Structure 1
């Protein structure tokens, strides 16, 4: 494709699904396919994961994509390429250093002038004393003062210029840190494209969809709750703080948010049975397959054609891409893939070299070699026998049977089919040593640094709040998210929730009434934990932490103290004895709670009290109140044992009194050492 053959299509980013870590992007490209069916789609980001590229044709039955590969181009941007923020920071840093040098030079001049002072000439022992010329001393002092005054004025100007240069440099550094990584940083750009081969096009106008994964994208949920007093419902606006550094700006894209892990395993677990006895099941297939017969003859025509004029293998292409990104215009070319080898009978598509030893006693297999081939003979000619010392140091052969590949060799997604230019007996075989592109690795490393961003207040990572379930939220409108690695707010949609205002107080701990919003989720979508901005009657109240709310769940959101409701608690303890011989101590506790509603509307108040609990059957506790035990609901797991609840409706401008208590009967033999607890 580097010789100009094939079509070049521009692509546009259409939608993005942001996962807990990373994102899946969807691009659309349209054009007319030529007779050869080869198309190069441009516009892909430099942090793209090559193994995640998927392509398909939309709205054209009979047309399909038969091949999709990721290629890298190096192209000069021209002399009129705009200066990026990095060059501006370098210029500002040079200006700051120059201003600092001028300031230091002025300080040196001031020190030199300040050191000027009159020095009396030396006097011999027999010479008489001479009078000091006072006028000369005064003239020298005036001269030094005049010069220092001018120099200090100049120093003030230089220090002001230095402060301005330092401020401009700090602004430039901050702008560079927040700038989008979509812009290229050199005059020679590394462009990532997708080479597609379409079948059945017949010079038709088709639309192609490209899907690929990129690292460097994170999100956390945020909310905004609007509530009116006296209304039993509210509007919960779901928003998301999204940060991405994927080397491409998301402009006008449809955004979806998912709590799933993009890199999770997709294979199903297998639970193997445990058998006792001599008869055992046949072992599972090892994944190794015998290479097809005549594999060496597959490249005979390629070898007869002679050497190629110019060919760059996969590692060379990666190095060329690195040089291009560094500023050198190096062409990048990929070696053509060899025709696929004929597959053996119905066995899986695993290719390997024939073992150098009979199958009954295969040679030891080490990671990095092809299936069934000992690494020591990977590049040795046929018939080569190792020397005696090497044979003596070799590990013992494995038990009879087919070779057992290592875990790296069973990772089918990481296996690479080596082409005809490979040496050492690797051509036409699958090996797990895929070439590493240092440029792409560096881009992905910088992109993944976005996961270290500090979270907004009360924010929780979606994987931590979603638990064992995964959820997806689709934004109602398209959004713009630049690739600058900072948080951006995206509006997802509005969720109808049930709301009611309740007031809660625990007067035995603090004689203050707190306002709470009881939030109920009546939808089929979970609400993840995150910050919620609460607005009551169009007035912003506070930002609270919303816990995870499953469908049908109920949670309380605290709104702070309610100054319009007062509570007072008084207690009384009376100790006596009972029983035939006064052998039982009776502790009679009385609790009196008064509530006053000074608001202009009726309220519902929940008062929490506590009753002692005991694990001794001889100690009895008798309650004398109309309170009730709390229901096992949303907050039941957070209430201590012995909690009792009063619930009452308090009209506007009224007061109410609540009386309760309990008796503790302790036998004399059960008295605690040092006295019984009275409160």
Structure 2
């Protein structure tokens, strides 16, 4: 069974894991395994990385996938489906126009009925005034009310119908635009197909899971904090803004988000020994094999047949094609027999490439440059130089005055001199990718034909799909958003969404709700009156879960009302961080200072600067609050300059607080009742020797 005749299994996208950049998608396909064990799983996007393709059999012990490779399939675009989608848009647009016309006509009727008023008949100049019967007025008012009630009920139905049709029209427009965004401009649609070879499954039903990577998908965390006044806890809803343009819509998939980098290096460094002397370890297998004997004579008959004829539309034979596996497919050479012999080919090498030459490249000498694509061969040190009188005598000048070195080390002036080691070349990664190697045919240059070489890179269409898939990485981030790789630090985290999600392949940001995280909340008020006489409200968040909260924007709502959007810092498991909410206008603060300068000592040789600080707080909220007032005292590195503080404030107690605050920070924590006020007094004295005084006087704050 060939790949073309293998049965085709439809696949469905079930799960996606979005990393810091890029995503891993998992598809599931089911079907009956044929006798040959080879199947084709369709529906893979063109932007996938073929080297990331993985497959395994689910729920069948003993069954396994022995081969998996990605191939490109092309098929005509279903023009009928596109035309049907456009016709649906036209139909809904007409229905929307009809519904809007009916709604407008109903509004006109309501306006006409609402304008009904009783109009008395015309009266001549000599006619007396006539009384208007009250029953007629009331009957007219009842008629207008009854008619307006019926018309307004019908208006509600027409408006509901108009909204429904408008919603369906928007959905149809979105389907057409998304289908045309990633569809090819030509009439041919291309996609990747996974060609799998299954063993051990027999000819029974099997389920296969396929995993592959796509580039360019990005995500950033966002939050919504819901709290109520007077409660110590709250709910933090974790959301993710996701953008992808892989060429396939992620519809109804289980989605997860990770902070790891898919392209990071994972290989461990290898420490090699340093050997001195002649003995060296055997080189590791390089994956290179000698070309078969007689390769140069394989194409002798082809060369002797003469030049190939021009293509004949009447049915001439076509030249054979040599596949990647080395087999000749449909070999039929249409040579013109009796034609003059061709010019002799260039002289073939008399022997196979010597050691040190790249596979398929011209042979190189031992001392020649390294062949392209081959890894350098480690140098082998020469024998160690002799020491002592013998070496000095060997290096002494001869009778003719010419100095001669007895060893290569003496000639080079070094203990070791590099020398190439005979051995096979070491191919690079491209040459070791056997599935991508292409066998050169008889029309290739003489030093290439009959040999395997890496094929060309991705075609222009594939490169365009991958370039398009990378575009979301350049999207501007939402406000206060931080890349997960930057905020995660040295650890990687994973977040699984609680429900399936839909993310279209349009390259725009889409928000997905991941889950709800319980957090501890405590409201605190902080002020720094020495800098600004304003009290700020803050929320102290404590994370008691085992998952970290990454930095990102958080929407804060209190008692169901939106308050503001702030920047949430990274919150480790078990940690607590402060989130600023802005000024609290209901709490006032006032600060006054007083400085007194005097001298002390027997000879008045010490200057005393007495600083007094007075802070007043007023709480105009209907609930008690705790306010943290931050002040500062000077710090000095001089041993004879003393600073004496007055009691009343304290230094930061926790190690984290001391690291966060500047040296010399002092803190007051005050509990204010509802509508209450308080006053805080503090200060410090600075004693400076006369010799340490500043020129022009001492600084005052």
After TM superposition, the score normalised by the length of structure 1 is 0.70
Matched, 1:418 2:438: yes
> Do 1:289 and 1:352's aligned partners in 2 also have CA atoms closer than 8 Å?
no
Counterpart position of 1:600: 622
Q: CA deviation at 1:641?
A: 1.4
Matched, 1:515 2:537: yes
Counterpart position of 2:58: 58
Mapping 1:128-207, distance limit 5 Å: 181-207=181-207
Summarize the Cα distance change of 1:534–1:279 in structure 2 as closer, same or farther, 3 Å threshold: farther
For structure 2, the 5+ residue unaligned runs are 87-171, 303-320, 328-356, 378-417
> Do 1:555 and 1:634's aligned partners in 2 also have CA atoms closer than 8 Å?
no
> Do 1:532 and 1:544's aligned partners in 2 also have CA atoms closer than 8 Å?
yes
Summarize the Cα distance change of 1:30–1:334 in structure 2 as closer, same or farther, 3 Å threshold: farther
Q: CA deviation at 1:458?
A: 0.3
2-structure distance, mates of 1:441, 1:488: 26
3-state SS of 1:622 partner: strand
Summarize the Cα distance change of 1:459–1:663 in structure 2 as closer, same or farther, 3 Å threshold: same
Mapping 1:223-242, distance limit 5 Å: 223-242=223-242
3-state SS of 1:556 partner: strand
Mapping 1:526-541, distance limit 5 Å: 526-541=548-563
3-state SS of 1:82 partner: helix
Q: CA deviation at 1:520?
A: 1.4
Counterpart position of 1:446: 468
> Do 2:23 and 2:215's aligned partners in 1 also have CA atoms closer than 8 Å?
yes
3-state SS of 2:189 partner: strand
Matched, 1:461 2:483: yes
Counterpart position of 1:640: 662
The Cα offsets for residues 212-242 of structure 1, whole Å up to 9 and x where unpaired, read as 0111210000011112222221111110000
Summarize the Cα distance change of 1:290–1:570 in structure 2 as closer, same or farther, 3 Å threshold: closer
Mapping 1:104-503, distance limit 5 Å: 181-272=181-272, 278=276, 282=280, 285=283, 288-289=286-287, 291=289, 294=292, 335=323, 337=325, 353=359, 361=366, 364-368=369-373, 399-402=419-422, 408-409=428-429, 412=432, 416-419=436-439, 421=441, 423=444, 431=453, 434-503=456-525
Larger Rg: 2
The Cα offsets for residues 37-96 of structure 1, whole Å up to 9 and x where unpaired, read as 12111100011111111111111112211211211122112542416999xxxxxxxxxx
3-state SS of 2:598 partner: strand
Counterpart position of 1:652: 674
3-state SS of 2:234 partner: strand
1-structure distance, mates of 2:485, 2:278: 42
Q: Count the aligned residue pairs.
A: 530
Counterpart position of 1:20: 20
3-state SS of 1:443 partner: helix
1-structure distance, mates of 2:633, 2:262: 50
Summarize the Cα distance change of 1:186–1:8 in structure 2 as closer, same or farther, 3 Å threshold: same
After TM superposition, the score normalised by the length of structure 2 is 0.68
3-state SS of 2:82 partner: coil
3-state SS of 1:456 partner: coil
> Do 1:409 and 1:415's aligned partners in 2 also have CA atoms closer than 8 Å?
no
The Cα offsets for residues 142-190 of structure 1, whole Å up to 9 and x where unpaired, read as xxxxxxxxxxxxxxxxxxxxxxxxxxxxxx9999987774545432211
For structure 1, the 5+ residue unaligned runs are 87-171, 305-332, 340-350, 373-397
Q: CA deviation at 1:355?
A: 9.1
- Worse-superposed segment, 435-444 or 401-410: 401-410
3-state SS of 2:463 partner: helix
Mapping 1:566-577, distance limit 5 Å: 566-577=588-599
> Do 1:417 and 1:428's aligned partners in 2 also have CA atoms closer than 8 Å?
no
3-state SS of 2:470 partner: helix
CA-atom RMSD in angstroms: 3.8
> Do 1:288 and 1:352's aligned partners in 2 also have CA atoms closer than 8 Å?
no
